[in-house]
Amino acid sequence: MGEFRLVEGSLPLIISYLFWTSTDFRLFRIFITILTLIAMCGFVFITQAMKKISCCYNIK
Amino acid sequence: MVHERLFLFLRTSFRIKIDQLILNQQLIYLFYSLLSFLKTSIHYIHLVYYVQTYIFIYKINSYSFWIAESLFLLWNCLNDPLFGWFSDRYISSISHRLDYLTKCGFLFCLSSLLFWYPFVEINSSLLGLQLVLSLCLYDTFLTMIDLNYSSLLIDISDHKRETLSSASAIGNALGKYEIILFVLWENFVWLKVHYH
């Protein structure tokens, strides 16, 4: 469980701090904007699909 | 003969219905996991990079930064119980919760962009105001998402709660690796620019 916690939480954080370079902020901004747009569409699509499934089959 | 055909027809259609139901239940697990993935991928990047961005790139002064963080601390103490009470009192059905997740998910993503696009000039003293506004808006939508997402677990699962919980944990873990995707992408673009 401890190993899983490390993989789940702390390891990506450590890796990100090791690799962080503030030299190209423009590139980071493009990446984050694309990711945000994908997440935005994903939220709408997934929640509406879940709503349709739960309505059709009355999943409880 | 007619009875047999009718039985066969009913059995076949019943089996199809059962198969569809199982498929849709599995899709519910997948969608639940994906929601967790999307939320974590946005939240984790925000969590790791916003302090560094404000300090090293926007060059916010330490006084404005700590005032903004203190105001956010107060708002964070207030909004969690406030929205929890609101959620318990006014949101009851699954479709209602999913509607809230649609709206709050969309606004949560929009509010996360506020951190990366400054309204004012870099080094400006008004950066503190932007930071506190961004943090409060972002945290409000995050709280709404977390509340409805956690309540959805109880609403949509009757006896498969542990499967849904595991699906959520997997989505959560995968969402944290978005940062590595960014690092790989950054290196790829850097190599492309420098070797062409």
Contact B158, A59 (CB under 8 A): no
List the single best residue of A5, A32, A37 to mutate versus B (max B Cβ within 10 A). Answer: A32
Q: Is B158 left (phi over 0), alpha (psi -120 to 50) or beta?
A: alpha
User: How many angstroms separate the CA atoms of B106 and A29, rounded?
Assistant: 19
Residue B180 pLDDT: 73
Interchain contact, B28 vs A20, CB within 8 Å: no
pLDDT at B44: 84
User: Phi then psi for B81, rounded to 5 degrees?
Assistant: -65, -35
The answer to whether A17 faces chain B, any CB pair under 8 Å, is: yes
Cα A54 from Cα B33, distance rounded (Å):
16
* pLDDT level of residue B161 (50, 70, 90 thresholds): confident
- Helices assigned H by DSSP within B157-177: 161-175
| Pairs across A and B, CB distance < 8 A | 131
Does A5 contact chain B (CB < 8 Å)?
no
Name the E strands within B2-122: none
Percent of chain A whose predicted confidence (pLDDT) is above 90: 10
CB contact under 8 A, B48 and A50: no
pLDDT of the residue at B140: 93
**Count H helices, E strands: chain A?**
3, 0
A14 chain-B contacts, CB cut-off 8 A: none
Q: Which two tokens stand for residue B188?
A: 């790829």
Residues 6+ apart with CB under 8 A from B94: A51, A54, B152, B155, B156
- Say what the pLDDT of residue B36 is: 92
Which residue bears the tokens 């199982």?
Answer: B22
Pairwise CA distance, residues B20 & B75, whole Å:
45
Provide the shortest C-alpha distance from residue B42 to chain A (in Å).
Answer: 7
Domain boundaries, chain B: 34-153
A6 at interface of B, judged by CB pairs closer than 8 A: no
Residues 60-99 of B with CB under 8 A from A: 94-95, 98-99
Radius of gyration from C-alpha coordinates of chain B: 23
CA–CA distance, B145 with B128 (Å, rounded to integer):
26
CA distance B94 to A47: 10
| pLDDT for position B155 | 79
Q: Which domain holds residue A24?
A: 2-57
pTM to 2 decimal places: 0.78
> What's the pLDDT tens digit per position in B116-160?
888 887 777 788 899 999 999 999 999 999 998 988 888 777 667
Q: How many helices (H) and strands (E) does chain B have?
A: 6, 0
Q: Decide if A27 and B95 are in contact by the 8 Å CB cutoff.
A: no
Does A34 touch chain B if contact means CB atoms closer than 8 Å? Answer: no
Q: pLDDT tens-digit profile of B68-123?
A: 989 999 999 999 888 888 877 776 778 888 888 999 999 999 999 999 888 887 77
Q: Is A50 on the interface with B (CB under 8 A)?
A: yes
Mean pLDDT of chain A: 70
Q: How far is CA A54 from the centre of its chain?
A: 24
Q: How many structural domains comprise chain A?
A: 1
Q: Which of A24, A29, A35 sits opposite B41 (nearest CB)?
A: A35
What is the CB neighbour count within 10 angstroms for residue B128? 21
Give the separation between CA B166 and CA B168, rounded to whole angstroms.
5
Q: For A23-52, what is the mean pLDDT?
A: 85
CB contact A22 to B (< 8 Å): yes
Which ipTM was obtained for this model?
0.76
